[in-house]
Amino acid sequence: MDELKVFTGNAHPALAKAVVEYLGIPLGGSQVFQFSNENIFVKILDNVRNRDTFIVQPFSTPVNQSILELLIMIDALKRASAGRITAVIPYYAYGRTDKKDQPRVPITARLLADLLTVAGANRVLTVDLHAAQIQGFFNIPVDELSAINLLTGYIKKKELANLVVVATDIGISKRARDFAAKLNAPLAIIEKRRVGNEDKTETLNIIGEVKGRIALTVDDEIDTAGSLVNSVKTLLEAGATEVYACCTHPILSGPAIKRIEASAVREVIVTDTVPVPPEKRTGKIIVLPVAPLLGEAIHRIHTGLSVGAMFQQE
């Protein structure tokens, strides 16, 4: 492990520190800050020549600053003759902009992939992309980890009887089906329509039986929580006895926390792929650590072991 170096920008230093604690190595030394003119300065303080280097940097708020920090750090490592550079991006922003679903709109998820490659990244490590097809935007290896075992493990310990797993829209039904299989529960799907480019959705219908059951909604991220609150209300009106929610990426922007606290959802189980500050850690928000998942994947990539073996069925 002497040849392994892990660095971090300013997006989520606490996660990077937890990762290196798992690996039993010190965090790589670096300076990453903004000048008064908002230009970003990066300096790598450790020798990285021919070393296996990893940068832990989710694209969390401020999103565009986090992206540019990562790009500049990759460039700095490349120019310092790092042996291999892996961008560890627990949360890949702009994942919803993965196709042209309207005239004259960009495919920003592809643009980010190009930027990372041109900057000098040799591979990418991420967690629960919004769309698995985003892996195909890269011409370098991409390892997509899943938080499914982490989230379902917590739910199993609660021993919820008569559980039904609910996909919050048709697009995430495959992931929800995997959750249902892990929990040995049936699957239901909420069919909904997004209204224009606004953060608003219109719930249309529930496919499947939820009456008399405890519902567990599954999504990849929760942003303003408007969709979650509507889903909870719809499920309770359809006869669900209780509603729990889980997601990998707790963006929780704007009115999200107030909406969750005012809703009837029992718990919202999330991970810390992005920072969850104390003011957002309310009684209903349960945060599970992803550092062991990322740390194990980094160890396997560094030593040439299989990453996919981490998720093989026991």
Q: Could you tell me the domains of the chain?
A: 4-146+292-309 (3.40.50.2020), 148-288 (3.40.50.2020)
- Main-chain dihedrals φ then ψ at residue 202, nearest 5 degrees: -115, 115
Nearest CA-CA partner of 150 in 301, 292, 297: 292
Mean pLDDT of all residues in 122-146: 96
pLDDT for 169: 85
Interaxial angle between packed helices 173-183 and 148-158, expressed in degrees from 0 to 180 and rounded to the nearest 10: 40
Going by the annotation, the residues of the binding site are 37-39, 130, 169, 194, 219, 223-227
Mean pLDDT of all residues in 217-245: 95
Q: Which residues are catalytic?
A: 192
pLDDT for 101: 87
CA angle (114 as vertex; 97, 11 as ends), nearest 5: 70
Q: What is the mean pLDDT of the chain?
A: 94
Residue with tokens 């903004």: 34
Q: In whole angstroms, give the CA distance from residue 142 to residue 129.
A: 11
Mean pLDDT of all residues in 257-279: 97
Three-class SS of residue 217?
Answer: strand
Enter the tokens of residue 106: 């960009």
* Full DSSP string of 4-70: EEEEE-SS-HHHHHHHHHHHTSPPPPEEEEE-TTS-EEEEE-S--BT-EEEEE---PSSHHHHHHHH
Enter the tokens of residue 2: 């002497």
Tens digit of each residue's pLDDT (9 = 90 or more) over 9-20 = 999 999 999 999
Residue 170 has pLDDT above 70, yes or no: yes
Mean pLDDT of all residues in 132-159: 96
Residue 5 has pLDDT above 90, yes or no: yes
Q: How much is the pTM?
A: 0.94
**Cβ atoms of 250 and 281 closer than 8 Å:** no
Residue 193 has pLDDT above 80, yes or no: no
Tens digit of each residue's pLDDT (9 = 90 or more) over 56-103 = 999 999 999 999 999 999 999 999 999 999 999 999 999 999 999 899
CA dist 191 to 195, 227, 278, Å? 13, 11, 34
Tens digit of each residue's pLDDT (9 = 90 or more) over 101-127 = 899 999 999 999 999 999 999 999 999
Sign of CA dihedral 283, 217, 260, 108: positive
Enter the tokens of residue 221: 């991220």
Residue 204 has pLDDT above 70, yes or no: no
Residue 199 banded pLDDT, cuts 50, 70, 90:
low
